[in-house]
A and B are shown apart, each in its own frame.
Chain A
Amino acid sequence: GAGVSQSPSNKVTEKGKDVELRCDPISGHTALYWYRQSLGQGLEFLIYFQGNSAPDKSGLPSDRFSAERTGGSVSTLTIQRTQQEDSAVYLCASSLSGGALYEQYFGPGTRLTVT
């Protein structure tokens, strides 16, 4: 079946502009995660959704970052007033249910470049 998809695959934006990144999880997966990966670095946890609710938003780097999930499916990560330090690959992952015991399926990521 279809895996996790993300769009756009690449996004170049000017400093100060807003961007929206989209994630389509695997059908039936109730848990959805956003991570950020800077060049050659590990995975930085941003936010977790169980259904449409986000129990933990503590990973969001600043109040310029927000995310929502609708219909227990698609999620959007919005970055307002982008800064150069926001440049990274943003990865979305989904799992069958919330909980550390479930394997996560990652999407191909969105490479964001802020000029």
Chain B
Amino acid sequence: GQQVMQIPQYQHVQEGEDFTTYCNSSTTLSNIQWYKQRPGGHPVFLIQLVKSGEVKKQKRLTFQFGEAKKNSSLHITATQTTDVGTYFCAGGAGSYQLTFGKGTKLSVIP
């Protein structure tokens, strides 16, 4: 079945440093979604990418979808303490179901 691998599992950064998490699928995806889960909270939708090579930005966050639609990345510039949480990618393969990666837990040291 479809698998979505996400690395790294954990990342500790100093406030102001950049952060990147990577998502790789074993199969070609129709779309990819990113979610953020704050400590003690529930996942909240951030963005969706559907086109090959697509790049979208939300303030300090940059999301990319690979040309082959098998990988994606989320890059945060100049992290802040408000960025703390776990970031999940979720890949769709044309069916009803999104397959979630295991997430990258980001800690920001003030």
Contacts and interface: CB of A to CB of B under 8 A. Distances in A.
Given A43-B88, A45-B97, A55-B96, A100 B103 contact: no
Contacts of B102: 41-42
Contacts of A40: 105
Contacts of B30: 100-101
Interface in A24-55: 31, 35, 40-43, 45, 48, 50, 55
B85 interface: no
Interface string A45-75: 1001010000110000000000000000000
Interface string A100-111: 110111111100
A106 B90 CA distance: 14
Contact of B94 (A98, A100, A105): A100
Contacts of B105: 40
Given A42-B102, A106-B42, 10 more contacts: A43-B43, A43-B88, A45-B97, A55-B96, A91-B42, A91-B43, A100-B98, A101-B31, A104-B98, A108-B42
B6 to A, nearest CB: 8
Interface of A: 31, 35, 40-43, 45, 48, 50, 55-56, 91, 93, 98-101, 103-109
B42 A103 contact: no
Interface in B3-52: 30-31, 33, 41-45, 48, 50
Given A106-B42, A107-B42, A45 B96 contact: no
